[in-house]
């Protein structure tokens, strides 16, 4: 029983360890949005959500001039 509990805990923790992979799957995480905003600022633009865009998808955000 104790072994099963330890294995279950390790499996659950391995899911937490893989969380950064979501960034590569196009989700608009805090870190991904921060990086995108910095890239836009370097071009003199601002990061904005496209009209009708899904705020959770990184590809729905674009750099736009004010």
Which has the higher per-residue pLDDT, 19 or 59?
Answer: 59
Residues 26, 58 contacting (CB under 8 angstroms): yes
| Average pLDDT of the segment spanning 16-23 | 43
| Average pLDDT of the segment spanning 12-21 | 47
Residue 10 and residue 59: Cα distance in Å, rounded?
A: 33
Residues 32, 58 contacting (CB under 8 angstroms): yes
Q: What angle (nearest 5°) sits at the alpha carbon of residue 42, between those of residues 54 and 20?
A: 50
Residues 47, 37 contacting (CB under 8 angstroms): yes
Q: Which helix (H) or strand (E) holds 19?
A: none
- In this prediction, residue 13 has a pLDDT band, given cuts at 50, 70 and 90, of low
pTM tops 0.75: no
Per-residue pLDDT, 66 = 78
């Amino acid at each position: 029983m104790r072994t099963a509990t330890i294995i279950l805990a390790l499996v659950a923790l391995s899911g937490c360890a893989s969380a950064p992979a979501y960034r590569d799957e196009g989700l608009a995480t805090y870190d991904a949005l921060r990086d995108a905003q910095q890239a836009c600022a370097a071009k003199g633009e601002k990061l904005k959500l496209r009209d009708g865009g899904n705020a959770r998808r990184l590809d729905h955000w674009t750099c736009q001039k004010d």
